[in-house]
Structure 1
Amino acid sequence: MTTASTTRLHVEVHPADATQPAVVMLHGIGGSAESCAPLAEHLAAGGVATAAVDAPGYGRSADPAATGDVVNDVIDVLDNISSDRPVVILGTSWGGVIAMSVALRRPDRVAGLILADSTRGSGTSVEKAAAMRSRITELREHGASVVAAARATRLTAPEADPEVTEQVRRSMSSVRVPGFTAAAEFMAATDLGPQLTDIGCPTLVVVGEHDVITGVDESRLLAERIPNAQFRIIANAGHVAIQEQPADVAALVVEFLKELS
């Protein structure tokens, strides 16, 4: 594994077969590039090049600027790590919303999308937007460790490996207020529903069968509205399917890449 940096973002790179598109991985609102490590390792073992990005204000990336645009930040990453060819973007939850936004803004940079336990955004209703923004207040008042202890078990399947749940808790405990605030505001302001039919690249939607955060129905909706999207349910997984069942998700990713070629 190597590391790379753009102007603002830290990226964990696993180089591999240069004959197929790299897979750029975007984490969820409570994660970081480290959350993508188990899947990245499985993909690297199969010869798939990956790049896991710390979003602004997460992991080793700088805090977001007041006028920051995470979608443009990710496009900058794509230009830096794969300037000569489009990439596949794999986004979990919030990361999937960013991935779709990139594909809509710069379709020339995206060869395919893999949306894991994702959503249209939290701007689909006033209530959902308010609930997302209330999490900013919760984080500021109680701190990341308390929030993580209360929420981590909801992100994994009922029979999840305790070590995976502990990894999720540790990751959430490291969330910083500036990064989370920008992420939550992005989600609260976003409803990609009307634009899903404009996504023109091949798309694979995967979701854990026990996902109670964004839910199976939301992922199924994405797959139904994005033209020709594939839909797969990951057994024995919750909202963090890429961490709970990385081998199963990796197999689907490899199959998807073969279809692209």
Structure 2
Amino acid sequence: MMTRKIRKLAVTAMCCAVAAAGLSGCEDDDMNSFPFDEKQKAADFVGAKKFDLDGKSVSVSCSGKLAAGKPVVVLLHGGGDGLSKMAAFQKTLSGKNRVCSYDRLGAGTSDKPDGPQSFTSTGKILTGVLDEIAGDAPVVLAGHSMGGLIAARYAPDHQKRVKGLVLMDATPSTMLADMEQAIPASAKGPAAQVREQNLAIFQGQNPEKLAMPDGKVRSAGNTAVEVIKHGKPYLAAIPESGPRLEQAWTAGQRKWLALSGRSKLTTAEKSGHYIYLEQPDVAVQAVARVSTQAAG
């Protein structure tokens, strides 16, 4: 039983680390392949819909009504998840905002990518989704784990549109290097397994085929930002290297504060990695605060 439990912890850590490496290439010109038309009208559907973006079918779900001057909240799921995981959270948020989520390529019911993906290609799809569901309305990106990393890498280049960020235990920007330091190549047993699995995932061996090198935290200007970190130190349970990984994760959350002078860090004391499921009130309140600032 102990071996099985450790293996489960290793897999959990692996999923977190998928969300963990910083994505580079965010300054590529290809990011804006879906040009933002300031006069574009947002789709006002409620429910599920598929959009053809860059030749791929992308699944999108929207709830709530779009109100003049109020932002559209867009949820970005973590690695290995999909929009269905965030359905209850989306429903709760939609009482006060229009809220949408989508499956990235390789996730949920969206098409699979043809080949390796980078932040550039992922950003192109995100831009296409925003063009369809937000039009010229301001946007708040609320991302969990790897979704938070993608949101944080995307926002600096899209400050005219992205007016708020909520990062829910977002993957730190230097987690790949942090993990290699915490778990040396000489490690044995479960820790070595975690290291090996994560290195493969960072190289693109994941459902989204997304390669994820570390990257710097760049400024998103005066964007309203709330960073929420987990309070239950679940990473510390990984044999030998856990405490170091937990420390690195916490340090990584603090690094995200450099995104903006309007950044705030909150700890969800009763939650593990899935804050929006384990302590949803903390996440809901953060989205509400950021949405109010984004509308101001």
Separation in 2 of the partners of 1:126 and 1:247? Answer: 30
Q: 1:204 aligns with which of 210, 223, 226?
A: 226
Instruction: Kindly name which structure, 1 or 2, has the bigger radius of gyration based on alpha carbons.
Output: 2
Q: Is 2:214 the counterpart of 1:190?
A: yes
Contact between 1:124 and 1:191, CA under 8 Å: does it hold in 2?
A: no
Q: Is 2:62 the counterpart of 1:38?
A: no
The verdict on how the C-alpha distance between 1:259 and 1:132 changes in structure 2, with shifts beyond 3 A counting, is farther
Q: Is 2:269 the counterpart of 1:239?
A: no
SS at match of 1:23: strand
Give the Å deviation of 1:74. Answer: 0.6
Q: Which amino acid aligns with 1:53?
A: Y
Partner of 2:60: 11
Q: 2:105 aligns with which of 44, 56, 62?
A: 56
Give the Å deviation of 1:60. Answer: 0.7
Separation in 1 of the partners of 2:81 and 2:225? Answer: 23
Question: In the TM superposition, what are the counterparts of 1:80-119 in structure 2 within 5 Å?
Answer: 80-118=132-170, 119=172
Give the Å deviation of 1:18. Answer: 1.8
Q: Which amino acid aligns with 1:95?
A: G
SS at match of 1:223: helix
Give the Å deviation of 1:28. Answer: 0.7
Partner of 2:180: 127
Separation in 1 of the partners of 2:125 and 2:275? Answer: 25
Give the Å deviation of 1:37. Answer: 1.4
Q: Which amino acid aligns with 1:208?
A: H
Q: 1:2 aligns with which of 47, 56, 69?
A: 47
Q: Which amino acid aligns with 1:29?
A: G
Contact between 1:24 and 1:87, CA under 8 Å: does it hold in 2?
A: yes
Separation in 2 of the partners of 1:110 and 1:63? Answer: 26
Partner of 1:255: 289
SS at match of 1:41: helix
Give the Å deviation of 1:2. Answer: 0.6
Give the Å deviation of 1:120. Answer: 1.3
Q: Which amino acid aligns with 1:3?
A: A
The verdict on how the C-alpha distance between 1:237 and 1:54 changes in structure 2, with shifts beyond 3 A counting, is same
Question: In the TM superposition, what are the counterparts of 1:18-29 in structure 2 within 5 Å?
Answer: 18-19=67-68, 20-29=70-79
Give the Å deviation of 1:202. Answer: 1.4
Give the Å deviation of 1:105. Answer: 2.5
The structure with higher relative contact order (CA 8 Å, sep 6+) is: 2
Give the Å deviation of 1:243. Answer: 1.4
TM-score (norm 2): 0.65
Separation in 2 of the partners of 1:126 and 1:42? Answer: 35
- Structure 1 residues not aligned, in runs of 5+: 139-176
Q: For each residue in 1:186-228, what CA deviation from the matched residue of structure 2 results, as whole angstroms up to 9, or x when unmatched?
A: 2xx13233x2x35541111112211545733321231256432
SS at match of 1:61: coil
Q: Which amino acid aligns with 2:75?
A: M
SS at match of 2:207: helix
